[in-house]
Chains A and B, each alone.
Chain A
């Protein structure tokens, strides 16, 4: 059975442009708050979206973040066209990062992003193909 959606939207993300990093995440956080979801859920969704957004900006050419909110579930899909992740296990490790100096000087590249997403989600899946792109599937349960 398909649950009725309370909200659905897709946001384009431009690779290499850090100016608006975090805007999508904050927008969704406000929407979730206005829907009356608890603080913890707001924060988890916002962190997962922010880290996904930053990875697209940092590593890919372009991507889309699709957010769907049902009464008991938040579903986030972040898909990009880019280099893909060659070794997913290694990328998931805390501290592993290929971020360049420019990214590091802005305060990103701790190598914590993917594991942060995992911690914030109830279900997390990475599908990636080298030289094509990466797709993160994130589910947050509201109960």
Chain B
């Protein structure tokens, strides 16, 4: 499954790196604690979180995530967007809660 197909199916708002959406998504990871995400997420995961401060970009870059989805209406801070553009990490956002976003992506992957 590609990130672009996720964006379309879940109707996510693309906040940056539009040109990087054709990458493959290997799975999802929900977490708001950076140390947990660093320790346990995998390469190619799409990271679902409520954290919007700039440190999330470094984590996603380190773990080679496909992208970050900010949930429940959380908007990225300006510094976060700047860093994400530099690092080439797509940031997406949605009003849906994390549980639903994870559920819907899980369903897509399982199908």
Q: For the complex, is A132 an interface residue (Cβ under 8 Å from B)?
A: no
Tell me which residues across on chain B come within 8 A of A71, comparing CB atoms.
none
The count of A-to-B residue pairs whose CB atoms sit within 8 angstroms is: 13
- Residues of B within 8 Å of A, CB-based: how many? 10
Question: A110 contacts B50, CB within 8 Å?
Answer: yes
Q: For the complex, is B34 an interface residue (Cβ under 8 Å from A)?
A: yes
Question: A105 contacts B50, CB within 8 Å?
Answer: no
Q: How far, in angstroms, from A71 to B69 measured CA to CA in the complex?
A: 46
Q: For the complex, is A90 an interface residue (Cβ under 8 Å from B)?
A: no
The 8 A CB mask of A96-111 against B (1 = contact, 0 = none) is: 0100000011010010
Q: How far, in angstroms, from A110 to B50 measured CA to CA in the complex?
A: 8
Q: For the complex, is B93 an interface residue (Cβ under 8 Å from A)?
A: no
Could you tell me the dominant secondary structure of chain A's interface residues?
Answer: loop
Tell me which residues across on chain A come within 8 A of B34, comparing CB atoms.
104
The 8 A CB mask of B1-38 against A (1 = contact, 0 = none) is: 00000000000000000000000000000001111000
Q: For the complex, is B83 an interface residue (Cβ under 8 Å from A)?
A: no
Tell me which residues across on chain B come within 8 A of A95, comparing CB atoms.
52, 74-75, 77
Instruction: Choose one: B33, B52, B74, B75; the contact of A105 (CB below 8 Å).
Output: B33
The 8 A CB mask of B44-61 against A (1 = contact, 0 = none) is: 000000101100000000
